[in-house]
């Protein structure tokens, strides 16, 4: 009898499946919008404060996703909805440039012709010290060696050297030729 009671507690859904789906979808949409507005950074570029905020956000929205339901079945429904919704948004972004721009944004030029673009840095929330650190991680001794730096839509900063014949610029129609054809591309 105790096993039946335990199974009932673990698998019964105090909330309807429809409410679980709606809760997960609303929280997902809200978080995508908030994180899109706040900015983008690659996970490796996040600082301690960014990590703390992400952990607190996860804790803050937990109850909005699960409601009064702490059952295993409720967790499964929420996870399936979140994963499916995320996959749908990823696929829509891959097939539609417009959806991609809305969800992921556009690339921003952070250094142009060797000069930091301060407005773009402020908009991206990247300080000169942080930009120098990113340059060092990519093998540049100083920002003086960087001709162009681009904050990609996915949060990665791509940097191109001064001595490259033609550094890639997102406004250009075509990217530069692949490495080995006269250009070295971003250092990695």
Question: Which one, of 120, 123, 122, 146, lies nearest residue 134 by Cα?
Answer: 146
d(C-alpha 83, C-alpha 186), whole Å: 32
Q: pTM, whole model, 2 decimals? A: 0.64
Task: Select from 104, 120, 137 the last residue of a domain.
Answer: 104
Provide, rounded to the nearest whole percent, the portion of the chain with pLDDT above 90: 27
Q: Alpha helices of the chain — where are they, by DSSP H? A: 2-11, 17-38, 48-66, 72-95, 97-104, 118-124, 128-137
For 76-93, write each residue's pLDDT tens digit.
888 899 999 999 998 998
Do residues 90 and 134 share a domain? no
- pLDDT at position 187 is 44
Do residues 115 and 59 share a domain? no
d(C-alpha 69, C-alpha 75), whole Å: 8
Do residues 92 and 131 share a domain? no
pLDDT class for 132, splitting at 50, 70, 90? very high
Mean pLDDT of 66-78: 84
Do residues 98 and 111 share a domain? no
What domain range includes position 42? 2-104
pLDDT class for 181, splitting at 50, 70, 90? very low
User: In the chain, what is the straight-line distance between the N-terminal and C-terminal CA atoms, in Å?
Assistant: 61
Task: Select from 57, 88, 104 the last residue of a domain.
Answer: 104
Structure tokens belonging to residue 75: 């967790």
Do residues 18 and 96 share a domain? yes
Task: Select from 50, 71, 104 the last residue of a domain.
Answer: 104
């Amino acid at each position: 009898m105790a096993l039946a009671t335990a199974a009932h507690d673990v698998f019964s859904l105090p909330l309807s499946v429809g409410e679980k789906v709606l809760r997960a979808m609303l929280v997902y949409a809200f978080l995508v919008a908030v994180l899109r507005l706040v900015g983008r950074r690659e996970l490796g570029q996040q600082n301690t404060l960014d990590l703390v905020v992400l952990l607190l956000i996860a804790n803050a929205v937990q109850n909005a996703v699960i409601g009064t339901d702490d059952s295993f079945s409720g967790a499964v429904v929420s996870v399936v909805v979140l994963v499916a919704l995320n996959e749908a948004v990823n696929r829509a972004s891959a097939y539609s440039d417009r959806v991609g721009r809305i969800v992921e944004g556009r690339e921003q030029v952070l250094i142009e012709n060797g000069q930091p673009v301060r407005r773009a840095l402020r908009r991206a929330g990247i300080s000169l010290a942080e930009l120098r650190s990113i340059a060092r991680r990519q093998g540049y001794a100083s920002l003086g060696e960087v001709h162009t730096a681009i904050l990609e839509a996915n949060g990665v900063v791509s940097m191109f050297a001064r001595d490259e014949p033609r550094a890639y610029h997102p406004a250009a129609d075509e990217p530069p030729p692949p490495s080995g054809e006269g250009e070295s591309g971003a250092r990695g």
